[in-house]
Amino acid sequence: MGFRHSKHVATHPLELVMGTTLYHGLDTAPGSHVHASVLAQRNGPQIRVFAGLVSANAGLKQHLESLVLPWLLRRCRWLLGLDNAREWLRHVVDPAALTEEGGDHDMSAERRLRETLGGVVRAGQPHWMPRISPLLAVLNDTSDVHLVIDPGPDSAMLVRACAGQWHYDMTRNGVVERDAPAKNERLFADLGDALCYAVGEMRPSRPQRRVERTKTTKTSFSPFTYASSTRRPAA
C-alpha cells in the first residue's frame, strides 16, 4: 500500500555514504532453503535501498558468501577493510533465525554473520503489524521520511515485490487477511520481510541529520611547515 514506481524508485543509481551505518535486513530461519537480504542506509529524511538479494535452494552460508559478501566488496569495500568499520554494518535478522540449527551453536545465523561479514547483529520485530508499520509510514505521502530504491538490477526483485508480488491473501468471501502476507510468492514475501527489518531498525519516526559525501581537500599539508608557521617567537 502506498508504493509508486515513479516516486519510490530512483531515476539514477544511488550512492552510499562512507562512514554511515549500512543496515542489512535478513529474512531466514534454521533449516530454511530461501534467504533474503535488503541493504539500505538512512541519510536525513531519505531511506536509500541499494539491493534486494535472494537465494533459493541454498543454505545461509552460501547466501552470504555468494551474494551478500560480493555485493559489499563491490559497493562498499571500505566497510570490510577495517575492524572498526565493521561496526557500521548492522544486521537485523528474523528472530526465528537467532537460534542454533539442530542445537549446534557453530551453525547459528548470528555466528555465520559475525564470521563472514562482521558487524552488529540485532533481532527484528517478531510481530507482523509492528514490523510492517514503519514501512507503510515511509510510503505515505505525508511522511517526513521517504523511501527510495536503487533502479539497478540488484533491486529488481525487490521492486517487483513492492509493486504487487508481495501481497495479502484473500478469503473466499473477498475479505483481505491482514494478519500476515501470503507465502505462495515465497521469494517476494521474504524480500518484503527483510525490507521491513531494515526500515524498522532505522527508526524513521526520529529525525536524523543529513550527511554529505566526504570531500577530499586539494590543499597540501606538511607538518614541518605547520610547526614552523605556528611557532611562537622567542621572548
Chain segment 54-93, per-residue pLDDT in tens:
999 999 999 999 999 999 999 988 887 666 667 799 999 9
Residue 224, pLDDT score: 42
Domain ranges in the chain are: 5-201
Residue 178 has pLDDT above 70, yes or no: no
Which fold does the domain 5-201 belong to in CATH?
A: Nucleotidyltransferase; domain 5 (3.30.420)
Least confident of 69-73, 105-109, 219-223: 219-223
Confidence of residue 179 (pLDDT cuts 50, 70, 90): low
Taking residues 105-115, what's their average pLDDT? 80
Residue 30 has pLDDT above 50, yes or no: yes
More confident residue, 235 or 88: 88
Residue 223 has pLDDT above 60, yes or no: no
Query: To 10 degrees, the CA torsion angle through 198, 200, 205, 206?
Result: -60
How many CB atoms are closer than 10 A to CB 221? Answer: 7
Q: CB under 8 Å to 224, separation ≥6 — which residues?
A: none
